[in-house]
Structure 1
Amino acid sequence: MENTITEKPTYKSFALHNFRKIPQMEQLPEELKKEIEVVGSVLPFKANNYVVDELINWDNVPDDPIYTLTFPKREMLIPQHYRRIEKLIDEGASKMQIKEEANKIRAELNPHPAGQLEHNVPMIEGQKLTGMQHKYRETVLFFPSQGQTCHAYCTFCFRWPQFVGMDEWKFAMKETELLVKYLKEHPEVTDILFTGGDPMIMKNKIFSTYIDALLDADLPNLQTIRIGTKALAYWPYKFLTDDDAQQTLHTFRKIAHKGINLAIMAHFNHPVEMSTDAAKEAIKEIRKTGAQIRTQSPLMKHINDSAEIWAEMWREQVNQNCIPYYMFLARDTGAQHYFKVSLVDAWEIFRNAYQQISGVCRTVRGPSMSADPGKVQILGVSEVNDQKVLSLRFLQGRDPDWIGKPFFAEYDEETYWLDELKPAFGEEKFFFEN
Structure 2
Amino acid sequence: MTLVNDAAPAVRSTGRKFRAFTAKHLDELTARAGLSPEQRLATRAVATVLPFRTNAYVIDELIDWAAAPDDPIYRLVFPQPDMLPEADVAHLTGLLRREAPKAEVEAAAHAVRMKLNPHPAGQMELNMPSFGDGKIPGMQHKYDETVLYFPKQGQTCHAYCTYCFRWAQFVGDADLKMAGDDVDQLRDYLVAHPEVTSVLFTGGDAMIMGEPVLRRYLEPLLELDQLESIRIGTKSLAYWPQKFVTDPDADDMLRMFEQVVDAGKNLAFMAHFTHPRELEPLVLSEAVRRIRDTGAVIRTQAPLIRSINDDPAAWESMWRTQTRMGMVPYYMFVERDTGPQDYFAVPLGRAHDIFRNAYKNVSGLARTVRGPSMSATPGKVCVDGVVDLFGEKVFALHFIQARNDDLVNMPFYAKYDPEAVWLDDLKPAFADRFPWEA
Q: TM-score range by the shorter chain?
A: over 0.9
2:274 to 244, 261, 269: 269
Gapped runs of 5+ residues in structure 2?
Answer: 1-10
Deviations along 1:191-213, one digit per CA (max 9) or x if unpaired, are: 00000000000011111111112
**Hey, what does 1:160 align to over in structure 2?**
167
Q: Which amino acid aligns with 1:358?
A: S
Residue 25 of structure 1 and its aligned partner are, at CA, apart by: 2.1
**Hey, what does 2:8 align to over in structure 1?**
none
Residue 325 of structure 1 and its aligned partner are, at CA, apart by: 0.1
2:376 to 371, 374, 391: 371
Residue 428 of structure 1 and its aligned partner are, at CA, apart by: 1.9
**Hey, what does 2:365 align to over in structure 1?**
360
Q: How far apart, CA to CA, are the structure 1 residues paired with 2:86 and 2:13?
A: 47
Q: How far apart, CA to CA, are the structure 2 residues paired with 1:65 and 1:98?
A: 29
1:211 to 210, 213, 218: 218
Is residue 14–residue 283 contact of structure 2 (8 Å, CA) maintained in 1?
no
Q: Which amino acid aligns with 1:66?
A: I
Is residue 5–residue 281 contact of structure 1 (8 Å, CA) maintained in 2?
no
Q: How far apart, CA to CA, are the structure 2 residues paired with 1:204 and 1:308?
A: 37
User: Map of 1:166-315 to 2, 5 A cutoff?
Assistant: 166-215=173-222, 218-315=223-320
**Hey, what does 1:317 align to over in structure 2?**
322
Deviations along 1:324-346, one digit per CA (max 9) or x if unpaired, are: 00000000000100000011000
Residue 26 of structure 1 and its aligned partner are, at CA, apart by: 7.2
Q: In structure 2, the residue corresponding to 1:52 is in which secondary structure?
A: helix
Q: Which amino acid aligns with 1:81?
A: D
1:105 to 105, 112, 119: 112
Is residue 342–residue 416 contact of structure 1 (8 Å, CA) maintained in 2?
yes
TM-score (norm 2): 0.95
Q: Which amino acid aligns with 1:274?
A: L
Q: In structure 2, the residue corresponding to 1:409 is in which secondary structure?
A: strand
Residue 20 of structure 1 and its aligned partner are, at CA, apart by: 3.7
Q: How far apart, CA to CA, are the structure 2 residues paired with 1:24 and 1:89?
A: 17
**Hey, what does 1:407 align to over in structure 2?**
412
TM-score (norm 1): 0.96
Q: How far apart, CA to CA, are the structure 2 residues paired with 1:5 and 1:288?
A: 24
2:91 to 60, 84, 92: 84
Residue 147 of structure 1 and its aligned partner are, at CA, apart by: 0.1
User: Map of 1:318-357 to 2, 5 A cutoff?
Assistant: 318-357=323-362
Residue 130 of structure 1 and its aligned partner are, at CA, apart by: 2.0
Query: What's the Cα RMSD here?
Result: 1.4
Residue 6 of structure 1 and its aligned partner are, at CA, apart by: 6.6
**Hey, what does 2:6 align to over in structure 1?**
none
Q: Which amino acid aligns with 2:278?
A: E
Deviations along 1:89-131, one digit per CA (max 9) or x if unpaired, are: 1121022111110000000000000000110001111320121
Q: How far apart, CA to CA, are the structure 2 residues paired with 1:308 and 1:155?
A: 22
Residue 154 of structure 1 and its aligned partner are, at CA, apart by: 0.4
Gapped runs of 5+ residues in structure 1?
Answer: none
Q: How far apart, CA to CA, are the structure 1 residues paired with 2:280 and 2:127?
A: 37
Q: In structure 2, the residue corresponding to 1:298 is in which secondary structure?
A: strand
Change (3 A) 1:316 1:26: closer
Change (3 A) 1:242 1:32: farther
Is residue 140–residue 192 contact of structure 1 (8 Å, CA) maintained in 2?
yes
Residue 10 of structure 1 and its aligned partner are, at CA, apart by: 1.3
Q: How far apart, CA to CA, are the structure 2 residues paired with 1:262 and 1:392?
A: 30
Q: How far apart, CA to CA, are the structure 2 residues paired with 1:260 and 1:299?
A: 31
Residue 356 of structure 1 and its aligned partner are, at CA, apart by: 1.2
Change (3 A) 1:41 1:398: same
Change (3 A) 1:309 1:372: same
Deviations along 1:263-290, one digit per CA (max 9) or x if unpaired, are: 0000000010010011111111101110
Q: How far apart, CA to CA, are the structure 1 residues paired with 2:121 and 2:30?
A: 40
Q: How far apart, CA to CA, are the structure 1 residues paired with 2:173 and 2:141?
A: 22
Q: How far apart, CA to CA, are the structure 1 residues paired with 2:365 and 2:300?
A: 14
Q: In structure 1, the residue corresponding to 2:397 is in which secondary structure?
A: strand
- Does residue 140 of the first structure (1) align with residue 176 of the second (2)? no
Q: How far apart, CA to CA, are the structure 2 residues paired with 1:88 and 1:308?
A: 42
1:430 to 424, 428, 434: 434
Q: In structure 2, the residue corresponding to 1:381 is in which secondary structure?
A: strand
Residue 22 of structure 1 and its aligned partner are, at CA, apart by: 4.6
Q: How far apart, CA to CA, are the structure 2 residues paired with 1:24 and 1:239?
A: 33
Q: How far apart, CA to CA, are the structure 2 residues paired with 1:251 and 1:78?
A: 46
- Does residue 390 of the first structure (1) align with residue 395 of the second (2)? yes
Give the count of matched residue pairs.
Answer: 428
Is residue 20–residue 54 contact of structure 2 (8 Å, CA) maintained in 1?
yes
Residue 31 of structure 1 and its aligned partner are, at CA, apart by: 3.8
Residue 21 of structure 1 and its aligned partner are, at CA, apart by: 4.6
Q: How far apart, CA to CA, are the structure 1 residues paired with 2:130 and 2:63?
A: 44
- Does residue 55 of the first structure (1) align with residue 62 of the second (2)? yes
Residue 322 of structure 1 and its aligned partner are, at CA, apart by: 0.3
Moved more, 90-99 or 56-65: 90-99
Q: How far apart, CA to CA, are the structure 2 residues paired with 1:348 and 1:62?
A: 27
Change (3 A) 1:300 1:381: same
Change (3 A) 1:40 1:272: same
Q: Which amino acid aligns with 2:20?
A: S
Is residue 394–residue 414 contact of structure 2 (8 Å, CA) maintained in 1?
yes
**Hey, what does 1:127 align to over in structure 2?**
134
Deviations along 1:2-52, one digit per CA (max 9) or x if unpaired, are: xx9974111111111123455972754334422321111110000110000
